[in-house]
Amino acid sequence: MLKKVGRVEEATEVSSGIYLLRISCPLKEPYPGQFVMAQPPGLEEIPLSIAGYSGGELKLIVAAVGETTRALCRMDVGDRLWVRGPLGRGFSYMSRKTAVAVAGGVGIAPLIYLVDARKREGLKTKLVAGFKSRVGGKLIQLLEDLGDVVIATEDGSIGAKGDAVSVASSMITRSSMVFACGPEPMLRKVVDLCMSVGAAVECSLERYIKCGVGICGACLIEGEEVSMRVCADGPVFDGETIVKLSDFDKLALDRSGCKVPLHGGCPSR
Amino acid sequence: MLKVDVAGLELSPPLVLASGILGVTAKIMARVSEHLGAITTKSVGARRREGYPNPVVCPLPYGLLNAMGLPNPGIDYFEEVIREFKKLSKKPIIVSVIGSDSPEYVSSRAEEAGADAIELNVSCPHAGGLLELGMDIEQVRRIVRDLKSILSIPLFVKLSPNIQDIGKLAETCEKAGADGITAINTVRAVKIDLLSKKPLFKSIYCGLSGAAIHPIAVRCVYEIYEKVSIPIIGVGGVVNWESAVELILAGASAVGIGTALTQDIAIAKEIASGILEYMRSEGFKSVSEMIGLAHKR
């Protein structure tokens, strides 16, 4: 997948520190759950979930948390950047089961695309979008435009009070197909819940992605008898695979290839 | 039919995972080894290295540019990875060792941990000062001699195509005691970013791999085969059985696969069956009958 030049058409702060970017860029039609590697000129190349794609226009939801994401969010209309993708394997988004999408924070990005893609196929999806606290009106509007949406906040400042998983739990039954993206402790709850009620589940996972094409090994996530490349075998994995990944919600490789606690340091440092 | 002896390593099929590709954890190496004859680890040094920041690759229509920067956790950590791999897979593990970071110490630790062979990296075109090291015939001779004096497992030396006379360097390695040659490493390259108007990679230099470098690999293997009698692992732009067979006919005893794994992590399976089919249709009974056949007139 060669790099393409993208042109920023819009960069709007939709909630505090969260931006919607619209980038015109001719890509092979992505599947919901796939990602791109995006690089503002001269800066780092970073992986970002695709939040939408139609008519040659790519949508991204970006949290301005690091040097590169801040630079991306500060881009002006007409600015150009490199885009490589779509990469990875996405959700089984055409499932005809009763679908529930569960998002934690900016994990909402790939699920926006999923809900939208299903809608275009005439398939309904219930979306539960969980946040720590109140989010901006523009983000809420963007989510409500998708259709059947429940907003949840942990402090109850808007929407239902509680985390996304507890709020979604009453909607998930044996015949549900659940799609989820968010922090791993939250995804663990989703997987546990789905396993206990017998629902099918797919989660989009995150690791430090470097090559994006499955050869460098930076993003491996593993279990006793399984080794998966998040960038090429994922980022979407089904519940049966995730329960075999003992690294899930626990360990990740650091930049040297040393396996460390998520957000921890390497013993040989 | 696909079995071949390479410096005492029994490889079946004659396909090896090239260094720098996925050789990070024991489990991924075990997964990849399923369709290969052996695996080579990422290059390891005495000290931990984080490698370069992204971007580390740039796909091209005819290959791939990379500048990973030799990320590795250091041998103190990696020896456990070697041990774990030995429990998971019966396939030989070749441990790639950074030539500029205490190669004697690293190699002996790797051997203790169960490495089946060492591959000395004196050819990375963008990190660790390895390209410069690999151009210095005297230095390479000294390192090979030192390593041979302490190792009892086979030693391969991975050479760069970015040097004047690769055949002569291979000959030097053989005389210094090397058991085999791996050729080639990536071709030194530079990519200019049209948006920033600067080199794309922080290291400025990067390495070109993939289909584009295959004829260069064939040339290098051909030249090395003319000069040495130790076995050659031919690496560079192998994307299908045809490109693998070409390297064998040019003189390679086994063939490395790297960039092609971007297409399919199990591509070796397809390549192996293609080689087998070719052997049957051409009447070869063993891989060894094909090695270097292009040289016989």
Residues B276-295: pLDDT tens digits? Answer: 999 999 999 999 999 999 99
Residues B88-98: pLDDT tens digits? Answer: 999 999 999 99
The CA–CA distances, whole Å, from B149 to A24, A196, B108, B293 equal 60, 60, 11, 33
- Asked whether the beta carbons of residue A268 and residue B77 sit closer than 8 angstroms, the reply is yes
pLDDT band, residue A268 (cuts 50/70/90) = very low
- Residue B98: φ, ψ to 5°: -70, 120
> Which of 77-116 (B) contact A at CB < 8 A?
77
CATH of A206-269, one of 2.10.240.10, 2.60.40.10, 3.90.226.10, 3.30.160.150: 2.10.240.10
Residues B19-76: pLDDT tens digits? Answer: 999 999 999 999 999 999 999 999 999 999 999 999 999 999 999 999 999 999 999 9
Averaged pLDDT for residues B79-103: 97
- Asked whether the beta carbons of residue B51 and residue A255 sit closer than 8 angstroms, the reply is yes
Using DSSP's 3-state secondary structure scheme, residue A248 falls into coil
Residues of A at the B interface (Cβ-Cβ below 8 Å)?
1-3, 5, 37, 39, 41-42, 44-46, 80-82, 84, 210-218, 220, 222, 225-227, 229, 232, 253-259, 266-269
Chain B residues near residue A214 by CB distance under 8 angstroms: 22, 261-262, 265
The torsion region of residue B168 among left (phi > 0), alpha (psi -120 to 50) and beta comes to: alpha
Name the segment(s) of chain A with CATH classification 2.40.30.10. 4-87
CA distance linking residue B266 with residue B276, whole number of Å: 16
Averaged pLDDT for residues A127-155: 95
**Inter-residue contact A250 to A260 (CB < 8 Å):** no
In chain B, the number of structural domains is 1
Q: What is the CATH number of the domain that holds B99?
A: 3.20.20.70
Point out the residue among A82, A225, A227 whose CB comes nearest to the CB of B25. Answer: A227
Query: Which residue does chain A place closest to B194, by CA atoms?
Result: A41
Work out the mean pLDDT of chain B and round it to a whole number.
Answer: 97
Residue B296 vs residue A149, higher pLDDT? A149
Residues A49-93: pLDDT tens digits? Answer: 999 999 999 999 999 999 999 999 999 999 999 999 999 999 998
- State the Cα angle at A58 between A45 and A107, rounded to 5°: 70
**Inter-residue contact B120 to B99 (CB < 8 Å):** yes
Q: How far is B64 from chain A (nearest CA, A)?
A: 10
Residues A213-265: pLDDT tens digits? Answer: 999 999 999 999 999 999 999 999 999 999 999 999 999 999 999 999 986 55
**Which residue from B50, B279, B277, B5 is spatially nearest to A216, judged by alpha carbons?**
B50
CA distance linking residue A160 with residue B26, whole number of Å: 45
Q: What percent of chain B has a predicted confidence (pLDDT) above 90?
A: 95
**Which residue from B158, B154, B153 is spatially nearest to B121, judged by alpha carbons?**
B158
Residues B125-159: pLDDT tens digits? Answer: 898 888 889 889 999 999 999 999 999 999 999 99
Averaged pLDDT for residues B10-17: 98
Domain span at residue B151?
4-295
Query: Which residue does chain B place closest to A217, by CA atoms?
Result: B22
Which CATH number describes the domain made up of A91-204? 3.40.50.80
Residue B233 vs residue B126, higher pLDDT? B233
Q: Which pLDDT value is given to residue B297?
A: 60
Q: How far is B60 from chain A (nearest CA, A)?
A: 6
Point out the residue among B71, B76, B262 whose CB comes nearest to the CB of A213. Answer: B262
Q: B118-127: buried (b, 16+ CB within 10 Å) or exposed (e) per residue?
A: bbbbbbbbbb
Q: Is B210 on the interface with A (CB under 8 A)?
A: no
Which residues of B are part of the catalytic machinery?
A: 124
Averaged pLDDT for residues B254-270: 97
How many CB contacts within 8 angstroms connect chain A with chain B? 121
- Asked whether the beta carbons of residue A268 and residue B193 sit closer than 8 angstroms, the reply is no
Query: Which of B57, B60, B98, B109 to mutate to probe the A interface, most A CBs <10 Å?
Result: B57
Q: Which pLDDT value is given to residue A267?
A: 47
End-to-end Cα, chain A, rounded Å: 35
- Record: fold of A4-87: Elongation Factor Tu (Ef-tu); domain 3 (2.40.30)
Q: Which pLDDT value is given to residue A96?
A: 84
Residue B251 vs residue A97, higher pLDDT? B251
pLDDT of residue A266 exceeding 80, the answer is no
- Residue A38: φ, ψ to 5°: -115, 140
**Inter-residue contact A206 to A221 (CB < 8 Å):** no
**Inter-residue contact B224 to B194 (CB < 8 Å):** no
